[in-house]
């Protein structure tokens, strides 16, 4: 039998390197987490969206069970550690309650280009200033990785799935920079429209020509 990893289908995209907190309440995933806790084995978060064919998943490790409730529910801390290609999906992992996937392990390159990081962070600062966003922590260029903000640059679901499939950081940098370059003019135009709409009916300061 081919190698099979436990699968946790969720309507979200997790990225290698990303830390993710989960609340576990279904019996099948309680079983999955308890087994990971006892054996140290990993599992996958498989993005699940109706009508979308998903070919990649993120291998996750269990960091800790942060809280165990009296009814067996759990709050757990996990971290993405790798990228896998999905070969086949099974509703039930053999002899288990939870699903599984037949998989091919892919490399995940984390080597970034400092100059591209600088360009990305400059674009992000423009985007966040335009949108009045100030609560997102941004690391300096020498420590920044694109997955740090991949959920916070306006990717739609298809773009997040595409981003997940890119296993080289330099290519992810180009993908994110291209996205920001296209997005910022749209956001700036919408912000201008919003300000004009807010001025509707207000007295305006008009400086006459001399």
Cross-strand partners of 67: 75
Q: Which domains occur in the chain, in start order?
A: 4-106 (2.30.130.40), 114-198 (no CATH)
How remote is the C-alpha of 64 from its chain's centroid?
20
Q: What is the pTM of this model?
A: 0.86
Which 8-state DSSP code applies to residue 172?
Answer: H
Taking CA atoms, 25 is separated from 5, 61, 105, 108, 201, in Å, by: 20, 18, 28, 31, 52
Length of the chain: 210
Q: What distance in Å separates the CA atoms of residue 56 and residue 162, rounded to the nearest whole number? A: 9
Give the model's pLDDT for residue 1.
47
Q: What distance in Å separates the CA atoms of residue 177 and residue 124, rounded to the nearest whole number? A: 9
Q: What is the pLDDT of residues 75-110, one digit of tens each?
A: 999 999 999 999 999 999 989 999 999 999 999 999
Q: What is the pLDDT of residues 22-78, one digit of tens each?
A: 999 999 999 999 999 999 999 999 999 988 889 999 999 999 999 999 999 999 999
Q: What are the residues whose beta carbons fall under 8 Å from the beta carbon of 25, sequence distance 6 or more?
A: 73, 74
Q: What distance in Å separates the CA atoms of residue 113 and residue 176, rounded to the nearest whole number? A: 13
Give the model's pLDDT for residue 205.
53
Q: What distance in Å separates the CA atoms of residue 34 and residue 38, rounded to the nearest whole number? A: 6
């Amino acid at each position: 039998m081919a190698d099979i990893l436990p699968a946790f289908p969720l309507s979200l995209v997790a990225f290698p390197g990303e830390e993710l907190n989960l609340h576990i309440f279904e019996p099948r995933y309680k079983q999955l987490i308890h087994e990971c806790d006892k054996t140290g084995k990993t599992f996958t978060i498989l993005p699940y969206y109706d009508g979308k064919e998903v070919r990649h998943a993120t291998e996750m490790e269990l960091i800790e069970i942060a809280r165990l409730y009296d009814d067996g529910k759990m709050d757990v801390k996990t971290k993405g550690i790798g990228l896998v290609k999905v070969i086949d999906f099974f509703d039930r992992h053999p002899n288990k309650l939870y699903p599984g996937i037949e998989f091919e392990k892919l490399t995940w390159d984390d080597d970034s280009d400092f100059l591209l990081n600088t360009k990305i962070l400059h674009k992000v600062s423009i985007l966040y200033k335009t949108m009045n966003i100030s609560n997102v922590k941004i690391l300096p260029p020498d420590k920044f990785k694109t997955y740090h903000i991949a959920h916070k640059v306006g990717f739609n679901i298809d773009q997040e799935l595409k981003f997940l499939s890119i296993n080289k950081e330099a290519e992810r940098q180009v993908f994110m920079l291209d996205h920001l370059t296209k997005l910022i003019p749209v956001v700036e135009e919408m912000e201008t429209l919003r300000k004009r709409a807010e001025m509707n009916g207000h007295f305006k300061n008009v400086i006459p020509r001399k």
